[in-house]
Structure 1
Amino acid sequence: MITEVNAVTFRQNLGDMLAQVQYRNDSIVINKDGKPVAALVDAELFGRIRRMQERFDALSSRVAEAYATVPVEEGLAEIDAAVAAVRKTR
């Protein structure tokens, strides 16, 4: 479950919020001035997010290298065509 709280409530209830994340595997989004600024998630989920980010960064680098010589307009046209093809099949 994902709970949203404001920063003051989070600060006042930190112990309870930590228990909620640790024992129930919930996530907490902390808002400040009505906008989300941070999230508290269990350590296992955070580890998975970090590994996914590392894999995404590596893949992005490989794609950037592969298309380094392709003009921007040509690359965007190729992306648009691929998106249109996928949407047609749905």
Structure 2
Amino acid sequence: MITEVSAVNFRQNLGEMLNQVQYRNDSIVINKDGRPVAALVDAELFARIRRMRERFEALSQRISEGYAATPMHEGLAEIDAAVAAVRKSR
């Protein structure tokens, strides 16, 4: 379950919120001035997010290196064609 709380409420109930995350595997979105600014998630989920981010960054780097010699307009045209093909297949 994902709970949204204000930063003030979060500060006042930190212990309870930690228990929610630790024992019930809930996530807490912390809002400041009505806008989300942070999230509290269990450590296992955070580790998974970190691994996925590292894999994404490595993949992005490989793609960037692979297209380094390609003129931007050609690369963008290839992306547009791939997106159109996927949309058409749906």
Q: Same fold (TM over 0.5)?
A: yes
1:40 maps to 40
Distance 2:72 2:4 in 1: 40
Unaligned runs of 5+ in 2: none
1:29 maps to 29
Give the counterpart letter for 2:2 in structure 1. I
Give the counterpart letter for 1:32 in structure 2. K
1:30-86 CA-partner distances (Å, limit 9, x unpaired): 000011000000000000000000100100000000000001111011000000000
Distance 2:56 2:43 in 1: 20
Please report the TM-score for the alignment, with normalisation by the length of structure 2: 0.99
Distance 1:31 1:78 in 2: 39
1:1-54 CA-partner distances (Å, limit 9, x unpaired): 100000000000000000000000000000000110000000000000000001
Percent identity of equivalent pairs: 81
Please report the TM-score for the alignment, with normalisation by the length of structure 1: 0.99
Asked whether 1:86 is paired with 2:86, we answer yes
Unaligned runs of 5+ in 1: none
Give the counterpart letter for 2:55 in structure 1. R
In the TM superposition, structure 1's runs of 4+ consecutive aligned residues that sit over 6 Å from their partners are none
